[in-house]
Structure 1
Amino acid sequence: MEEQKPHWSVGYLDKIERRLEKNAYAWIGKRPIGEITAREYLTGVIHRACVPESQGRSPDV
């Protein structure tokens, strides 16, 4: 993300950072990145970011 900052508008950067904080960082917690498998990432973080609860995502996914 640091590499992209110079190319993104302030508004877009803010939106991306809020989404990461809400959907990714909160889910990952303090786990070392090396412990997170690709499957966990895809089914957890990506799903949380792409499928809102109002469209069928369970709140604990």
Structure 2
Amino acid sequence: MFIADIKSSGWRSEVRDVLTEKGIMRIEALIPDKTDEKAMKRAEKELCKIFSKYREVTDRCKNQ
């Protein structure tokens, strides 16, 4: 999913850098625009798909 897709689906992205003991960590927050309820539902479904795929990959890596 590209940033343009996120913006068009009712979300905006904010990125900030956080200093940790091991270095700098970049954190991206997805924040709803609250402009269109249908667009927010579509974005929520898309994000759930992305995170479920990510979870499957991390679970496979842990089991190897």
Q: Which has the higher strand share?
A: 2
Instruction: Give the TM-score normalised by the residue count of structure 2.
Output: 0.34
Higher helix proportion, which one? 1
Instruction: Give the alignment's TM-score, normalised by structure 1.
Output: 0.36
Between Structure 1 and Structure 2, whose CA radius of gyration is higher?
2
